[in-house]
C-alpha cells in the first residue's frame, strides 16, 4: 500500500507540473490585436455637432450684408441633402431685382431703429415696404405675417432695446447668435454688423428655437417687463421676414403665424 501511495503522489505532482507548464505557456503566448481608430468626433470631421446650428449658402447668391464674411466663405453650398433645420444664407438679385436697394433701406432703418425719438416709426415704415414687395417673391411670400389681430404697429424699438440691455447683463457677450463653422470647427458669430446684432438681440427667445421662445426665456430677455413681452408675438414674424429678405432664412417657423 505504501508503494502505491507513493506512486499516486508522484503521478499527481507530474500532472500538476504539466498544468502549470501549459498555463505558463498560454500566458506568454497571449496576443493583443491592434484595434483601428474610432470614428472622429462631429467637430473633428467638420460635421455639425448635436445642439449646434448649421448653415449653408444658396447657390448663385450673394453674401447677406449682416453676415460674417469669413463664415460666408466657409459655409458649404446648400444641397438636397442639407438638413432642413440649417439656416440658408444668400440673397439673389435675379429672384428680386430690387433687393440691393431694399437692403440699403433696411440697414438705414436698423441704424435709426434704436433711437427712442422716431426710431420705431422709421422701422415700421421700412417694414411695410418689405412686406408689400415680399408678397410678389415666391421665396418670401409665406413669411409675410398673416396676423391681423394686433392692435397698431409693434414697438420694435422698445422691445429690442430692452432685450439688448438685458442680454448684456445676462451673457456679457456681443454675439447674439452662434452657428457652426465647418472650417473653423467651432461655433462662431453669425452676425458681424451692429444693425444685425440689434435686430437679433432677442434671438434666443424669438428665433433660436425655431418658434416663439418659452415665456420664461422671453420674459427674462425682456427683463420681466410685461410691455416688452407683449411685443414678442407682435414682432416675431416680421423679424423673421426681414432676416430672410437680407438673405438669412431660418427654417419655416409655423409657431410665429
Q: How far apart are CA 63 and CA 184, in angstroms?
A: 19
Please state which of the ranges 42-46, 182-186, 220-224 shows the lowest mean pLDDT.
42-46
- Which residue has cell 448635436? 50
- The whole-number pLDDT of residue 253 equals 56
Q: Are 99 and 136 in contact (CB under 8 A)?
A: no
Q: Are 50 and 42 in contact (CB under 8 A)?
A: yes
More confident residue, 85 or 33: 85
- Residue 241: is its pLDDT beyond 60? yes
Please state which of the ranges 87-96, 108-117, 124-133, 168-177 shows the lowest mean pLDDT.
168-177
- The whole-number pLDDT of residue 47 equals 79
- Residue 20: is its pLDDT beyond 80? no
- The whole-number pLDDT of residue 51 equals 83
- Which residue has cell 408689400? 132
Residue 55, beta-bridge partner list: 87
Secondary structure of residue 220 in the 3-state scheme: helix
What is the mean pLDDT of the segment spanning 61-69?
96
Q: Any idea what DSSP says for residue 191? A: B
Q: How far apart are CA 216 and CA 228, in angstroms?
A: 13
pTM of the model: 0.77
- The whole-number pLDDT of residue 43 equals 44
The band of 21, judged by pLDDT with boundaries at 50, 70 and 90, is very low
More confident residue, 117 or 208: 117
Closest by Cα among 91, 49, 65, 62 to 249: 91
Average pLDDT of the chain to the nearest whole number: 82
Q: How far apart are CA 5 and CA 132, in angstroms?
A: 111
More confident residue, 211 or 99: 99
The backbone torsions φ and ψ at residue 29, rounded to the nearest 5 degrees and listed phi first, read -100, 5
- The whole-number pLDDT of residue 30 equals 58
Please state which of the ranges 136-145, 166-175, 202-211, 232-241 shows the lowest mean pLDDT.
202-211
What is the mean pLDDT of the segment spanning 168-193?
92
Amino acid at each position: 500500500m505504501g508503494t502505491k501511495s507513493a506512486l499516486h503522489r508522484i503521478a499527481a505532482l507530474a500532472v500538476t507540473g504539466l498544468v502549470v507548464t501549459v498555463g505558463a505557456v498560454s500566458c506568454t503566448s497571449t496576443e493583443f490585436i491592434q484595434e483601428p481608430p474610432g470614428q472622429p468626433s462631429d467637430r473633428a470631421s467638420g460635421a455639425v455637432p448635436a445642439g449646434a446650428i448649421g448653415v449653408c449658402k444658396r447657390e448663385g447668391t450673394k453674401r447677406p450684408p449682416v453676415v460674417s464674411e469669413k463664415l460666408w466663405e466657409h459655409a458649404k453650398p446648400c444641397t438636397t441633402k442639407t438638413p432642413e433645420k440649417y439656416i440658408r444664407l444668400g440673397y439673389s438679385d435675379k429672384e428680386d431685382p430690387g433687393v440691393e436697394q431694399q437692403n440699403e433701406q433696411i440697414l438705414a432703418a436698423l441704424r435709426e431703429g434704436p433711437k427712442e425719438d422716431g426710431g420705431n416709426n422709421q422701422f415700421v415704415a421700412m417694414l411695410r415696404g418689405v412686406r408689400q414687395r415680399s408678397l410678389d417673391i415666391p421665396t418670401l411670400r409665406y413669411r409675410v405675417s398673416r396676423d391681423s389681430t394686433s392692435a397698431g404697429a409693434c414697438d420694435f424699438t422698445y422691445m429690442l432695446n430692452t432685450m439688448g440691455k438685458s442680454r448684456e447683463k445676462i451673457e456679457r457677450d456681443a454675439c447674439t447668435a452662434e452657428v457652426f463653422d465647418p472650417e473653423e470647427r467651432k461655433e462662431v458669430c453669425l452676425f458681424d454688423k451692429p444693425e444685425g446684432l440689434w435686430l437679433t438681440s432677442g434671438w434666443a427667445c424669438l428665433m433660436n428655437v425655431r418658434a416663439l421662445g418659452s415665456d420664461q426665456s422671453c420674459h427674462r430677455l425682456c427683463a420681466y417687463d410685461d410691455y416688452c413681452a407683449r411685443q414678442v408675438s407682435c414682432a416675431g414674424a416680421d423679424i423673421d421676414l426681414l432676416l430672410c429678405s437680407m438673405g438669412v432664412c431660418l427654417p419655416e417657423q409655423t409657431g410665429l403665424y
